[in-house]
Amino acid sequence: MADPSRDPAPSIRDGDSKLLTLIHEVTHFDDTFSSFDTWYGTKNARDHAEDPRSRVNADSIAGYILGVVAKASI
Average pLDDT on 32-45 reads 94
Domain range for 22 is 11-66
pTM over 0.85: no
Domain annotation covers residue 2: no
Supply the mean pLDDT for the chain. Answer: 83
pLDDT bin (cut points 50, 70, 90) of residue 10 is low
- Predicted pLDDT at 30: 98
In a domain, residue 3? The reply is no
Banded pLDDT at 22 (limits 50, 70, 90): very high
- CA–CA separation, 41 vs 14, rounded Å? 8
pLDDT tier at 48, thresholds 50, 70, 90 = very high
Rounded Cα distance, 19 and 5, in Å: 23
Question: What is the count of structural domains for the chain?
Answer: 1
